[in-house]
Amino acid sequence: MSPAPLAGPLDPDGSVLVVGAGLGGLRSAESLRANGFRGAVTMLGDEPDAPYDRPPLTKQLLAGTWDEARIQLASPDLLAENGIAVELGVAATSFDAATRTVQLDSGRSLRADAVVLATGASPRWLPGTEGAPGVHVIRTIAQSVGLRDALDALDGTGRVVVIGAGFIGSEVASTAAAKGFAVTMLEALEVPLGPVVGEQVGGWLTELHRRAGIEVRAGVTVAQVLARTSTSGPAVVLASGERLDADVIVIGIGVRPATEWLAGSGLRLSDGVLTDEALFAADAVVAVGDLARFRWHHAIGTDEVRIEHWEVTAQLAAHAAVSLLAGRGAAPAVSLVPYFWSDQHGRKIQMLGRPAPSDEVLCVAGSVDEAKFTVVYHRDGRVSGVLGVASPRNVMLVRPCVATGAPIADAASLFDA
């Protein structure tokens, strides 16, 4: 017998199935409990590891300064205390949104009164590179440890080629350079991170890499990646024909939302799971984290967004629980100010808001020469974001202006001498 349709509030004594055991899945389950849900909560994860934190995978865990235990988000004992049942090493293979039924790779099927979709994203590989010896991506503990072991085996000498100069590639490059490796970063864009932070700031962040001894080659196209063999290391061949030999190659060209298992589910899929402003993808079905493409009302407009940030995932997960308990008709819209951070070359880069690449940029403090600066983004005279390098106080100072879309003059006045 299928569960009854559930467009109204979730019964506090009902059942919830959380598909995904990362940050989004865990915070959704915890938020259900925090908001008074008493029923059964079951969380499924396709990895063998208990919920863990992903940001350290490219930094502390890769560097070897932290171990796996330190990045654990919740111990089995804590999950049990909260009444959260966890099944690890099981993958969802299909979903029926109408009946809220999940099919597993073991052949089992599970149904619940409500479902949280939190399967996140998977790293993009270049064609023919997946599983190739000497070629790595980072998204899981196993992948981070595998790359760390490969670097450790080189005893601090060797060449690392990183394909992709986004934040993941940049963090890996920073960590490898700090360990003494010669690092080359390859980027197809003329200005790394230009679509995210704008070309001016992207140029400044690229300069920080070069000062750290990293060779950054922008505007280049990778034609082929060659795997390690018994007689030679891995290599990258550029479209120009140039060959770059390496000891280790890391691909950091972004991720794709893990929606394959949702084909035929009845949900709308387009670079993620399409949801409304309260995160509902269907009645009693919500999506969170990297998987969710949601309608976001902010101070200077409305956008349909999918945001791959830790803090946003945590906020969406908490909101999804509230939405389920309120019901689709009464659930509030998501309200947030996107926040992101990255640690590179011993400095913290922080960003609030979601500026467009074409937004104007005003440097309000510091300079690239100091490797410490704060820039405020604005659109039509209104603040759309702020980015700081080694400037946490300044970033938080501008936060109210980002939240309200204040006039750029208001943000600038905060830094008047």
Count of Cβ atoms closer than 10 Å to residue 152 Cβ: 11
Q: How many CA atoms lie within 13 A of 305 on its CB side?
A: 24
pLDDT of residue 6: 60
Domains of the chain: 15-122+256-326 (3.50.50.60), 125-253 (3.50.50.60), 346-413 (3.30.390.30)
Q: How many CA atoms lie within 13 A of 231 on its CB side?
A: 0
CA pair distance 332, 348, nearest whole angstrom: 33
Backbone angles phi, psi at 109, to 5 degrees: -130, 140
How does the average pLDDT of the chain come out, rounded? 95
Name the pTM for this structure. Answer: 0.95
Backbone angles phi, psi at 406, to 5 degrees: -65, 160
Residue in the structure block whose two tokens are 């979903």: 95
* 5 has a pLDDT exceeding 50: no
- Take residue 251 and report the two structure tokens written for it: 């691909």
* 121 has a pLDDT exceeding 90: yes
Backbone angles phi, psi at 371, to 5 degrees: 55, 35
Q: Find out whether 120 and 291 touch, Cβ atoms under 8 Å.
A: yes
pLDDT of residue 101: 98
Q: What is the largest CA-CA distance in the chain?
A: 70
Under DSSP, the state recorded for 149 is H
CA pair distance 304, 311, nearest whole angstrom: 18
Average pLDDT of the residues in 62-68: 97
Confidence tier at 207 by pLDDT (50, 70, 90): very high
pLDDT of residue 155: 87
Please say whether the dihedral angle defined by the alpha carbons of residues 224, 227, 231 and 233, taken in this order, is positive or negative: positive
- Take residue 381 and report the two structure tokens written for it: 């005279």
Average pLDDT of the residues in 130-154: 97
Residue in the structure block whose two tokens are 């979709």: 117
* 125 has a pLDDT exceeding 80: yes
Strand partners, 41: 16, 84
Q: Find out whether 327 and 35 touch, Cβ atoms under 8 Å.
A: no
Average pLDDT of the residues in 146-173: 96
Cβ neighbors of 119 (< 8 A, separation 6 or more) are: 19, 20, 46, 92, 258, 259, 261, 291
Q: Where are the beta strands (DSSP E) in 138-204?
A: 159-163, 182-187
| Strand duo 273-274 + 292-298: pairing | parallel
- pLDDT tens, residue by residue, 275-324: 999 999 999 999 999 999 999 999 999 999 999 999 999 999 999 999 99
Confidence tier at 99 by pLDDT (50, 70, 90): very high
* 417 has a pLDDT exceeding 70: no
- pLDDT tens, residue by residue, 194-206: 999 999 999 999 9
First-to-final CA distance of the chain? 70
- pLDDT tens, residue by residue, 242-262: 999 999 999 999 999 999 999
* 1 has a pLDDT exceeding 70: no
* 2 has a pLDDT exceeding 80: no
| Strand duo 347-353 + 382-389: pairing | antiparallel
Cβ neighbors of 193 (< 8 A, separation 6 or more) are: 165, 166, 167, 170, 201, 202, 205, 206
Tell me what percent of the residues of the chain surpass a pLDDT of 90.
Answer: 96
- pLDDT tens, residue by residue, 375-402: 999 999 999 999 999 999 999 999 999 9
* 110 has a pLDDT exceeding 50: yes
CA pair distance 108, 93, nearest whole angstrom: 10
pLDDT of residue 416: 87
Give the DSSP letter string of 60-95: HHHHTSS-GGGGBSS-HHHHHHTTEEEEES--EEEE
* 348 has a pLDDT exceeding 90: yes
Give the DSSP letter string of 202-261: HHHHHHHHHHTT-EEEES--EEEEEPP-SSS--EEEETTS-EEE-SEEEE-S-EEE--GG
**Backbone region of residue 285 per phi and psi (left: phi > 0; alpha: psi in -120 to 50; beta: other values):** beta
Q: Find out whether 235 and 226 touch, Cβ atoms under 8 Å.
A: yes
Q: What angle do CA 295, 8, 29 make, to 5 degrees?
A: 70
Strand partners, 347: 344
